[in-house]
Structure 1
Amino acid sequence: MDGFPMSYLIAAPDALAAAASQLAGIGSTLESANAAAAARTTSLLAAAQDEVSTAIAALFGTHGHAYQAVSAQAAAFQAEFLQSLTAGSSQYAAAEASNLLSLQGLEDAIFGAINAPTYALLGRPLIGDGANGATPGAAGGAGGLLIGNGGAGAAGATGQAGGAGGNAGLIGNGGVGGAGGASTTGNGGAGGAGGSGGWLYGSGGAGGVGGANLNSFGFGGAGGAGGRAWLIGAGGIGGAGGAGANGGWGATGGSGGWLYGDGAAGGAGGANTSASGTAGTGGAGGNAWLLSSGGAGGAGGTGPSIDGQGGFGGHGGHGGLLAGAGGAGGAGGAGGIGGTGGLGGDAGWLSGASGGAGGTGGLGSIGTGGLGGAGGTGGLYGTGGAGGTGGTGATQGGGGGLGGNAGFLLGMGGTGGSGGSSGAGFNGGDGGAGGTGGWLYGNGGVGGNGGNGGAGVTGVSGGHGGNGGAGGRGGLLFSDGGNGGNGGIGGRGGTGLQGTNGADGTYPSGNGGDGGDGGAGATGGNGGNGGAAGRGGLLFGENGIVGRGGAGGDGGTGGLAGNGGNGAAGNASSPHGGNGGNGGNFNGVGGTGGSGGSGSVMGAHGKTGATITSAGGNGGNGGAGYDASLGNIAGASGGTGGNGGHGGNYGNGGTGGAGGNGAAGTAGTNGLLAGDSGGNGTAGGAGGAGGTGGNGGSISGNAGAGGSGGRGGAGGAGGSGMDGRSGADLGAGQSGTTGGNGGDGGTGGAGGAGGKAGAVLGKGSTAASGAGGAGGDGGAAGTPGDGGSGANGDATHLDGGSGGAGGNAGVAGSGGNGGANGSGVGAGKDGTAGLGVDGGDGGAGGNGAAGQNGENGVGTGASGSNGVAGGKGGDGGAGGAAGGVGTHGGTGGAGGQGGDGGHGGSGVNGGNGTVTSGTGGSGSTGGNAGAGGGGGDGGKGGAAGSAGTHGGAAGTAGDGGAAGKGGNAGQAGAGGTGAAGANGTADANKGAGYAGGDGGDGGQGGNGGAGGKGGAAGTGTGGHDGANGAGGAASDGGAGGAAGAGGAGVDGGGGVAGVNSGAGVAGGDGGAGGKGGAGGAGGTGGTALAGATAGGDGAGGVGG
């Protein structure tokens, strides 16, 4: 091996393991492909049955088998190679792990030996990082003297400061400071300072965040200062202040290295969490030393929007002496009053870098915006930094920051910051002045523009625009002065105040108050003046241009005149509605526009605000009249609606109030006792008239519509009559009483007249006149009472009483007239007449009583007496007259039924024969049947209602009452039965007996009674006549008496006994029986009356 250089082999176990995995995948794929091809390549079929085809198939099959054998050998080789590769990878990995443990132990042993002396002498390692703070608030350990980072400081406990970060040694970064602890009872703990960077190289550590103050009276903890760098390296960022009732201050950023390294940014100020107090100021940026830039200032903390001061922004750090720009100032924090922006840092004195820009002013939510910070000064030949923009304020806008001056020798002055915008009606902030150019050469900076004035709210003038900043002065040679900034635009004036609206009416007067005149529009704000021009250089320099003046704001629109108050609605004590108040006459004039600002170009003067001529000052609406239907007084009239108020010069007239509804009338009382008439209903109350609509304005404006009339009250219903009493000793049954008349419906109220439209201002169509109000509907007529029924006849007084007449319906109320139209508009619609009702029905007539039956004959052979005729039925009552349009008259009452006639008495039987062989006596005649009573006449139908005034159909007259049916005739009496003939007498001794006598003739049957006459039909005027009553049915004649039976023969006499035992004499023969009597003649049938059937004759008596 001598003479040959030694080669070095490097093995990567991970790469070997990955290669083995890929080889395993390839082998698996090949095995699958071979298995799929085996059947198709080793078992081929011959193409035909000849020997050549068979030989070819065998040849290719052999090749297939050979390929499968080679593939199996290749797979075995691949598996062996894969196993070897995997094993090698595992062995290499195990060797590396073993070597690593050995090397780590070696490293620990070496560094332990190196650091032991320094630990023993200085308490810190020579090489290695410092330990982190272990207990609350503990500082981090220092890094190694040669190499090592400082350890981090530990966070503080409650209210405790955080631990400082450990410092680095020669090379390394400083440790981070620990956060301050939060506190609920006191101030938050301060953040720990960051550790310093290495002496040779390394950045400073960041400062810790201040702890939060969690109560309403303390301070948040201050942030920890950023650690500095020594030779090369950036400073550490300053810690942010903690939030609290007063926010903690942000810490200053660490400075950069002496040779090279930027200063770090300052920490942000802590937020103010209370309703008042101050937010924390941002920390200043760290300075650079020789060749780097300064750090930016931290932003000011935010304050609450209700109140409180936003924090000031931190100042930017200075740039390095030879090269380096100044850091930008931090922005002011937002709050109730905006915080001021921080100053920009100066560039390095010998450098050509620019100064830092000033910070922007913070937003003032209820007060002024924060001022913009001034720009930093440029280096020896550098440009000054731009001034910061002023913050927007709810009141005054913040002023812009001054532009930074150029370097001592050469350079341009910085631009001034623009003024902030203002809130409603307040002035915009002034622009900042431009910076001065370099002493030898350099143009002055341009002045900042003024902020715009805020537009005024109602009745408030617009704010003035801010003035432009002055241009900066130019350098000595060939340098121009800076141009002045432009003035801000003036705010628009607010709209004039609306005239006071009239108060709504209250009683006792009820009238609404008049509206007031509108206020003038507010004045527009003046435009800001342009900034002054900067002076040019002494030699060959020109002055700058004066800034342009800002435009003046437009004047505000004049306010509208106030509306008249609405009239009060009527009530029970003051039923008439109050009148609406008149609208205010004059709208306010438009406000004067603001003056334009002065400048190189004069700002435009603002326009005069508009005076509205199309609206304003509407009249109030009239109050509604009292609705009497809601009260307790029957038939009371509704209240009149109040008139609408007139519009002002440009306003619309008010609408007239609606008339109140009338109250309904009282219902009549029903009769209490038999024979009492029903009481009449009272009339309903009239509806109130609608109020007149107000006139439109004298110049323009639509007229108000008239109010609608009130609805008339419904008439009271009539009481019902009572039924008549039964007939007294001296007369027939009492007639039924008349039903009460229904009350008249109330008249609807008239609609209010429409108002008159205003005159036309200039050309164009006329304004609309008010429409007349609709008339009120008339009240419904009262329902009449029905007539009482007549009483029925009784046994003593057979005739029934007449039915009572039905009550007349009340007259329906008339609809109110529609209100008169205003010019050019149709009149209001007339009200609809009230609904009529049908007349009352007449009472039914009483029924006649039945006649008494005739008495039977008294004594032998006496005839029966005749039956009494039945009573006449009562007449039906007349129907009541219809009430109102299209209604029906009442139906007449039905006539009473006639009473049935009495039955005739029966005749007495004839006497028996009394002499030997005498004939029996004839039976007596039966009594005649009584005639049926006449039916009552039907009642007259009521009169029909009239035709409607707007084409309504006339009502139908009431139908006549149906006539009563006649009474039925009584049953005739039967004839007496003939007496039997006398029996024969016996002969003495042995002679024959005498013959019996003939039976007597039967008595004649009584005549049938006449049927009752049907009643006359009632008539209807325009209605249907009632049907005639049917006549009563006549009765049949009485049946004749049965003939008497012949007398019975007597037994023959007994033989006489012989003398002295001689033979007796023979008995006589019996007598012959008597001849039966003839049957009695049947009675004559009753006479048929109109509408009835005649009675049949009586049947003859049966012979003896």
Structure 2
Amino acid sequence: MSYLLVAPEALSSSAADLANIGSALRCANATAAASTTEVLAAGADEVSAALAALFSGHGQAYQSLSAQVSAFHDQFVQTLSLNATTYARAEAANVSPLQQVLNVINAPTQALVGRPLIGNGADGAAGSGANGAAGGILLGNGGNGGSGGTGQAGGAGGAAGLIGNGGTGGTGGAGATGGTGGRGGWWYGDGGSGGGGGAATSVSMAGGHGGAGGSAGLWGAGGSGGHGGAGMSGADAVNPASTTDSSLNGAAGRSNQVDKAGHVTGSNGGSGQPGPSGVNGGSGGSGGNADVTKAGAFTTSPVAGNGGNGGAGGAGGADGGDGGAGGYARATGTGAAVAGLGGNGGAGGAGLDGQGSGSVGGAGGDGGRGGFLVGNGGDGGIGGTGGAGGSGSGGGAGGAGGGHATIDSNSTNAAYNSNGNASGGNGGAGGDGGDGGRGGSGAAGGAGGNAGAGGWLAGNGGAGGHGGAGGAGGGGGLGGNGGDGAAGGNAGAVSGLASGGNGGQGGDAGHGGDGGSGGEAGQGGAGARGGLLGRSGAAGSVGDGGVGGLGGSHGGAGTGGAAGLGLGTTGRDGTAGANGAGGPAYDGANGTTGLKRA
């Protein structure tokens, strides 16, 4: 007796393909019908008419035959579709009694030992970390372990019975270990693969270790170890929104102070106070004025006060405070009128370092042992990648240098004398830009899992798992811009020498932050021995060291202040301020690549 095996799904698919072919043929025949069944004669002679009639007859005969073939094709497709439905119904009807018989067979063993005689074990629910159920005692695969919730290990794969494969371990929750693969059938079957370790969700949490692969019984391959979970990357440093606190500003100097000798002076402005973290430095106070005409004194050499220096900006990229303006001086005699100097700008605050290194990647799981008699050992799992370091934040800008006060709204002079000499005050220097923050270091990659041994008689040993790559270092923050120097004060005199003040020097650019170091590479797992008729497995390769972070770029240099003008018949201009320093030498250094030990 011969048996016929039928797949209802294949019959249904074939019927659909044949229906499409028939539809395409009908379309082609309909398109050709008009031009082939009514052929026009080439001329009015009898030969042309006879040829046209001959070809038209052939076309009509073809259309008649095509109609018969199309009808047969439709009948064949209908029969094929009907048979597919009939076979499917018969298959469903036959399965129901077999399932009832299987239920009767499994009921006693299910009641006695909690597992069926024949059948696959149930899978653990996702997110529960539940173990997979064991397969049938005689035949059946173990169920897969359920994935773990946050911080919960994945469930173990269920074990097979006599014949069958072990279930796969569930993936671990955040930072948790993957489930162990189920044991293969004790007579025949492969061990289940270990579940992957859960990825870390914070820098204080390492990636979870991969679960170990399940061992085989007498004959079968060991399961592969699960991959280690990846470490968490460090957070990038973010400068807070800088604020200004007026209480940090320096007090203004007192004007037109007359001592016992009749000298008129202005006192110096107070320096601004440095800002705490995230707060801009205070501005320097303006210097006091020295004006003989307002003091009511007869001295001929008034000296104005200097502006106070600006305070340094707080950490977190806050800006430095501006320098205070120097006071003005005015005399009416033959003495010298000396204006006050502008205060220097405060330095910008340094950027913040990257917020810590990333966390370490998890180790790969060990491979399962091959069958006791015959079978290859399982490969070790790959180690998890280490977390990357966070990037540093940028430095703050330096404060601008203090300028000079003017005598009144109609004059731009900082110093004036009707007969004697007059000297304009020098502009204050700009503050240096703050340095960028350093990038965080990358974390080490996880070690690869060790391989499982091959069977005693025949079987290759498993290969060790590759070590995980180290995390990349974080990038350095940008250096802050240097503050601009202030312009020197103008001086005016009717008959004496008027010397304009020198412009203030621009602030130096802030250094770029150094890049963070890359994380160390994970070690490869050990290969395992083979059987009498097998090869030993190769050791896993060392992972790649993490790439060092890029150094931050330097900030822009401050612009030097303009020279003050000397006004009058014997006036002499001051010198322009020099620009601040800047250039490639001020870029942060790139981080070093992580170590890769053999």
**TM-score, with length taken from structure 2:** 0.48
Would you tell me which structure has more strand in proportion to its own residues? Answer: 2
Which structure has the larger Rg? 1
Would you tell me which structure has more helix in proportion to its own residues? Answer: 2
